Chains A and B, each alone.
Chain A
Amino acid sequence: MSLERPPLPDGIVAVVKRDCATCRLVEPVLQGMVGDGFHIYSQDDPTFPSDVDVVDDSDLIVSYHWDIETVPTLLRIVGGVETERIVGWKREEWEAFIGVDALGPDLPDWRPGCGSLSVDPTRTDELRARFSAAGLQSRRVDFADLEDEFEAMYDRGWSDGLPVIPPTEARVARMLEGTDRAAESVVTIVPPDLVECTVEKVAINAVMAGCLPEYLPVVLTALEAACTSEFNMHGLLATTFFSGPIVVVNGPIRTRIGMNDGVNALGQGNRANATIGRALQLVIRNVGGGKPGGVDRATMGSPGKLGWCFPEREEGSPLSPLSVARGLDAGVDAVTLFAGHGPQSIIDQKSRTAESLARTFAVCLRSVAHPKLCIKIDAMLVISPEHGRVLAEDGWDRARLEGRLAELLTLDADELVAGAGGITEGLPDGFAGMELPKFRDGGLLICHAGGSAGLFSAIIGGWVNGDEGSDPVTLAIT
């Protein structure tokens, strides 16, 4: 994403600055190394070192693009390519590098270098904007002097209703450092307008959502998962139903980026949890053009549509991680996209056996969508640590729990047909006499999250599954 690296001449290149005690210390050494194969670049003063030819790098173009982090740095350039570098002052190292003996005999043997101006924290934003943002392709939008920038973004329809952070060049360039992907590469085709969406556009919306750069890989992969035909983001957006895309994160990245899988894991208060899901929805809104009242036709919607992302609490869980259950290796960073809404609470403060607790889960899960509807709607069951402990104490793992829930959620269709129970909603009469599962195979996703206190679990109700709806999608984060 940066502009092209300026070429350096073959030979030895020294990068220095006057405002560095070590550089000043080695000034006599530098002054003695004049010649065709030796080139000095100065970051802050082209008259330093004195009495020798110095290339002025006060605009830091060379230092920035050659990733100079310390001064002095010596680079060996062969055919325009760096083959070796040393930093700071260490006599033996310099002697070996240059091939000269007895350098600076009066100097101490060793001194550490100083920070390069190109990595000075007070200048990095400006440098990034100058060098990296120049390559960004998106249209620049100027706000007038009298426009409040936050109001201006509302006025342009870029917000989900909450304030968004202005996506300046410097912020977007910084966001893009969170991924190895090229800014101009296409991530996916975003519905409903079926727009090719670049990494850069995702980064812009991630800035607006409040993400840190290290969240960007999660946002990118979540977007890829959401825009698969299996997940069917277009239909999920357009439906009159409540659901939106929910992102469940597995793997070490959860802790690396500071996600909250504990107290209030499904709620507010953690930046990563709150902004990753929001960034996904802002991409759908701004890049895809999907807005409430436009293609989004939800009758009521649900608050999770602002963005809903949470990590699984893998530590201490009696269950294998959701991503592993869905086919990925343990320890792989992953997102699982689920079309859902909620949550609905499950209270069971008395069960002390896994069997009793499973029965509670089953009777509550039966209410998903409608107690008389089955198979066509998936659900997610989020088990709290205290409920997890009850399962663990009886030695139940994921397979045991899933198997028992499938048994307990096998329903007598006589109770499900239209008119049964005095309720017209229900299955066609033809199903009478059959036994039917509440959930299709794989239609109940179970994970583990939440704080250590509370004998509660949660049901996240799903949307229509299969070809006419959405299938959950799990992808490794890249």
Chain B
Amino acid sequence: MSTVLDPTSERSVAERARLDRPASLEGKIVGLLDISKPRGDVFLDRVEDGLRSRGAADVLRFAKPTYTKPAPVDLRHEIATKCDLIIEALAD
């Protein structure tokens, strides 16, 4: 971990701001990122059913090549450009 001094007026939090949670799933495209642990897909199938029944316009499925490493940048870019929401699904 490295530590730096804040160059700003410190009027806002140092952490990156998160996007607001959507009020509903209506019309949203939801991505499900499987981290590629065994049977994660079984769990995510149920999550997908639940999301569709709650109004999601579409549910797109993605998977990391391996759960041991962060998602590759191309995959993150694809998710960011295709989805309104993303759920990263940890299964074990």
Contact = CB atoms under 8 A, between A and B. Distances in A.
A9 interface: no
A288 B4 CA distance: 19
B42 interface: no
B6 interface: yes
A184 B34 CA distance: 50
B82 to A, nearest CB: 21
B1 A156 contact: no
Contacts of A288: 9
A404 B7 CA distance: 48
Contacts of B5: 136, 138-141, 167-169, 172, 200, 204
A158 B11 CA distance: 14
B4 A143 contact: yes
Contacts, number: 71
Give the one of A138, A156, A169 with max B CB within 10 A. Answer: A156
B1 A138 contact: no
B16 interface: yes
B2 interface: yes
B9 A140 contact: no
Contacts of A282: 7
Given A141-B14, A155-B16, A156-B14, A166 B4 contact: yes
Given A141-B14, A142-B1, A143-B2, A208 B9 contact: no
Interface in A260-294: 282, 286-289
A178 to B, nearest CB: 16
Interface in A130-177: 136, 138-146, 149, 153, 155-156, 158, 166-169, 172
Contact of A286 (B4, B7, B16): B7
B3 A141 contact: yes
Contact of A208 (B1, B3, B7, B11): B7
A106 to B, nearest CB: 53
Interface in B1-24: 1-11, 14, 16
Contacts of A158: 7-8
Given A139-B14, A156-B14, A156-B16, A149 B2 contact: yes
A195 interface: yes
A193 interface: yes
B27 interface: no
B70 interface: yes
A201 interface: yes
Nearest to A141: B14
Nearest to B9: A195
A142 B3 contact: yes
Contacts of B16: 155-156
Interface in A36-78: none
B88 to A, nearest CB: 14
Interface in A278-316: 282, 286-289
A116 interface: no
A323 interface: no
Give the one of B5, B7, B11, B70 with max A CB within 10 A. Answer: B7
Given A139-B14, A141-B14, A155-B16, A168 B7 contact: no
B74 to A, nearest CB: 16
B2 A139 contact: no
A205 interface: yes
A139 B3 CA distance: 10
A138 B9 contact: no
Interface string A117-139: 00000000000000000001011
B80 to A, nearest CB: 13
Nearest to A196: B9
Interface string A409-436: 0000000000000000000000000000
B92 to A, nearest CB: 20
Interface in A331-388: none
Given A144-B1, A146-B70, A156-B16, A138 B11 contact: no
Nearest to B6: A139
A286 B10 CA distance: 9
Contacts of B4: 140-141, 143, 149, 153, 166-168
Contacts of A286: 7-9
A18 B5 CA distance: 37
Given A143-B3, A169-B3, 14 more contacts: A138-B10, A139-B5, A141-B5, A142-B3, A144-B1, A145-B1, A156-B14, A169-B5, A172-B5, A193-B9, A193-B11, A204-B6, A286-B7, A287-B7
Interface of B: 1-11, 14, 16, 70
20 contacts: A136-B5, A138-B6, A138-B10, A139-B14, A140-B5, A141-B5, A143-B1, A143-B3, A144-B1, A145-B1, A149-B2, A156-B14, A156-B16, A168-B3, A172-B5, A195-B11, A204-B7, A205-B7, A286-B9, A288-B9
